[in-house]
Amino acid sequence: MEHRKLGESDLEVSVIAFGAWAAGGWMWGGTERNQSVNAIRACYEQGVTSIDTAPIYGQGLSEEIVGEAIKDIPRDRVQILTKYGMRWDVKKGDFGFKSENNRGEPIDVYKYAGKESIIKECEDSLRRLGTDYIDLYQIHWPDITTPISESMEAVQRLIEQGKVRYAGVCNYDESQMAEAMTTINLVSNQVPYSMVNRGIEEVVIPFALANKKSIIAYSPLERGLLTGKIKPGHSFAAGDHRAGLKYYQAENIAAVNAFLQSIKPIADDKGVSLGQLVLRWTVDKPGITIALAGARNAEQAIQNAKAAEVKLAVDEMAFINARLDELQLV
């Protein structure tokens, strides 16, 4: 497994990291705890040492699953990436959206990153994860009701206490990153990036490169769409958020699958799946440090991990990029 450093830190993370959103079940139509635990352990055996989670994923369940999965692994052999700033248990900050928990009960989700909230969230995360420190602590979404400096000062305090090693952000634009950097040494920005969602190439990636910050790409498989396994008319489980996404409209699924078929000969020639090819393309793009890949079971986790072994030649990258330029979504 290939490892890369985040920013200018000494924190090395696996180029394919385990994304534990789906493991929490929330917005994914539920979860099977044992399968999720086994998925994390299976990918660790393949060299995936980095796991990204968040309290909001299953309202604590994802972090508990991660804690259970790594409890027998020496702590210094895994990197825990988690987040703060999305509360479902208090009505403070910037209202985000209405949702349901895994029991089908209504919850209101708020973006809130006040100082006292971050301190509490960190303690709760440490308990659920069964550890005494977090490798990378990231604000989940910008909170317009709290000064960025207040949030970053709280994380700096946690770093000084040894409860957090490094600070990162998620879903920040370049101006928000610049403001945060006046208070704390950021190492990374976690943002959505995939073959069909490349908006960060315009400003966010150039800013990160210029300031020697890492980009952690989430949803590189566009929540499963870029595996080629989703067909028009696909039936989603109740509570699966993908049913309402524009990428999952029938016309877009058909267009994406046609694109995937055009690059499938490259995958076939290498004896890999389309998903593995897509993940390798992602981490080979300039400015992308690592990609998060979720898995619902051990088989999927192993497949994702093996994407790190794929090698893409310059002409193969060029061919894929040319086909992408022809892809039109509605």
pLDDT, position 329: 86
| CATH number, domain containing residue 143 | 3.20.20.100
Residue numbers in the chain where pLDDT is lower than 70: 24-31, 238-241
Catalytic residue among 57, 137, 247, 248: 57
Amino acid 101: pLDDT = 83
Q: What are phi and psi of 73, to 5 degrees?
A: -100, 135
pTM (whole model) above 0.85: yes
- Position 40 scores a pLDDT of 94
Question: What is the total residue count of the chain?
Answer: 330
Q: How many CB atoms lie within 10 A of CB 158?
A: 22
Lookup result for tokens 């493991």: 23
Residue 60 lies in a domain: yes
Instruction: Quote the number of domains for the chain.
Output: 1
pLDDT tens profile 117-138:
999 999 999 999 999 999 999 9
| Residue corresponding to tokens 């946690």 | 158
In a domain, 111, yes or no: yes
* pLDDT value of position 26: 55
pLDDT at 302: 95
pLDDT of residue 25: 59
Tell me how crowded residue 47 is: count the other CB atoms within 10 A of its CB. 16
Q: Say whether 57 is catalytic.
A: yes
State how far the Cα of 193 lies from the Cα of 291, in Å rounded to an integer.
Answer: 9
Domain that includes residue 185, residue range = 3-222+274-310
Helix/strand/coil percentages in the chain, nearest 5: 45, 20, 35
Taking Cα atoms as reference points, which of 77, 67, 88, 89 lies closest to residue 23? 67
Distance (Å, whole) CA 51 – CA 41? 11
The reply to whether 247 falls in a domain is no
| CA-to-CA dists, residue 245 to 69, 241, 257, 274, angstroms | 31, 7, 16, 21
Asked if 1 and 15 count as a contact pair (C-beta separation under 8 A), the reply is: yes
Please report how many Cα atoms fall inside a 13 Å half-sphere around the Cα of residue 141, on the Cβ side.
17
Predicted local confidence at residue 70, as pLDDT = 96
Residue 292 bridge partners (DSSP): 17
Separation CA 84–CA 157 (nearest Å)? 14
57: in domain? yes
Q: Is residue 268 part of a domain?
A: no
Domain assignment of residue 239, yes or no: no
Q: Is there a domain that residue 251 lies in?
A: no
Confirm whether 258 is domain-assigned. Answer: no
